[in-house]
Amino acid sequence: MPSRLTAQDFDQEVLILFDAYVHGSLDRRGFLNQAQKYAKAGVTAAGLLAALSPDFAAGQQVPKDDPRLKTEWLTYGSANGTGSVKGYLARPASAGANKLPVVLVVHENRGLNPHIEDITRRLALDGFMAFAPDALTPLGGYPGNEDKAREEFAKLDQAKAREDFVAAAGWLLARSDGNGKLGVVGFCYGGGIAHMLATRLPNLAAAVPFYGNSPAPEEAAKVKAPLLVQLAAVDERINAAWPAYEAALKAAGVKYSMHQYAGTQHGFNNDTTPRYDAAAAKLAWERTVAFFRQNLA
């Protein structure tokens, strides 16, 4: 197989199976058993899984030691007041002690992996102070392996994890090196958290959920922040709930925009897997940065 495949190199049914595997509704054995019928040209089901899995080195855009940035690992107080949550913070080195607009970055359902660290650095290069908490902190943090990370994520106290992200927002707003304006961007699980935070935080200035679960429609009236909703085209699991939530947002007078990118799969912004769509990801990122600059300045 070529080293850099795209979604077009796979049967759509295999991509749907992979999405189910990634999100825990299908285990590894189930994926391999069902994907076997789509294996061809000497490629096994295990080969399909390996080809679809993340390649963090290939997707990295900003090196960890980029001299244009100042990065550090920090902790903040957990929601229950008895522990702490670890996270990764990045600022442009040229900013010095200047107060910057702040973006909370929320990972997918595998914790704070190298791809989300890279996203955090990208935001810093765009002029923001970006912070990405690791929801897996109570279980030892991101384990360095995506399969293990998914297993650990399933063990999380999800209610507490949501409150830990609420606590992260408060901690960031209180920092003296921020300008008092907070935005949030999240991907998949993190997109759902971004939506949730928009219903919980009246002082949130902007939210950008990428292909995240929509809240219940009755929650829409609580949203005070402008929303930029980024959806894939081929993503029935997420898209099915959007029309009802969109109608509720309209009824509540919430300022929002939604962009759905033709031909894209769930995870199209993640450049570590073949589901990545370079053109859509570039446009979505440009829109995200412009949205944050407009609302967090």
Contact 227, 207 (CB under 8 A): yes
Residues with catalytic roles: 188, 235, 266
Helix axes 45-52, 12-22, angle to 10 degrees: 70
* Residue 15: closest CA among 23, 26, 7: 7
Q: What is the DSSP string of 225-260?
A: S-EEEEEEEE-HHHHTTHHHHHHHHHHHT--EEEEE
Cβ neighbours of 61 (radius 10 Å): 12
Q: What is the DSSP string of 80-131?
A: TSSSEEEEEEEEEGGGTT--EEEEEEE--TT-S-HHHHHHHHHHHHTT-EEE
User: Is the four-CA dihedral 20, 25, 31, 33 of positive or negative sign?
Assistant: negative
